[in-house]
Structure 1
Amino acid sequence: MGRHSCCLKQRLRKGLWSPEEDEKLFNYITRYGIGCWSSVPKLAGLQRCGKSCRLRWINYLRPDLKRGMFSQQEEDLILSLHQLLGNRYICIYYFADHIYIYI
């Protein structure tokens, strides 16, 4: 698996994100909202591709991102929905108020 074509066009940073980059992305998104991800890096002052910014926001920086263990209530809800819906995890995801379930 290689680099995306957008990353090959310019000299873009690769690898780990610095705390300064996280702060720039977080501040930009909280101020202006989510829009066209391909324009976010330039407008936020980042040397990253749009896909990298999108993935960083979705997987690490979103304020509503829940980390840690499920509560007992969430676990019971997931198990009861699984009994009802089977392995259709996208349905469970929507019924369980968008609880992220990594299998």
Structure 2
Amino acid sequence: MGELLEVAAEVTGGRAELRWLDPEAVLAAGIRPWTQLPVWLPPGPAHEFLHAGDVSRAHAAGLRTRPVRETIADTWSWLGSLSSTPRQADGPPVGLDPAVEAAVLAAAT
């Protein structure tokens, strides 16, 4: 996860300062995995299902993955071409409210 976020900050020119918390602290703050923290899942069955699956058959059938840097750069370029940030029509906004982030980080120090 750290490498993904570091590459994302680099490719997008972001100024994010990465801070790491125990998963328990994140969950105790009521932060919803995957929606409020996109791509993040705490350790457990869902995390294992997503990250530890055997994809050897897919690779043998021809699946090829791209480097993360390339995927992030292309996604960032695509987002820049849109007139507004895409939203899920029937769901809450994706991402963590900055006030919630600040409160959780303040409590963790």
TM-score (norm 1): 0.28
Which entry has the higher C-alpha Rg, 1 or 2? 1
TM-score (norm 2): 0.27
Greater relative contact order: 1 or 2 (C-alpha under 8 angstroms, separation 6 or more)? 2
More helix by share: 1
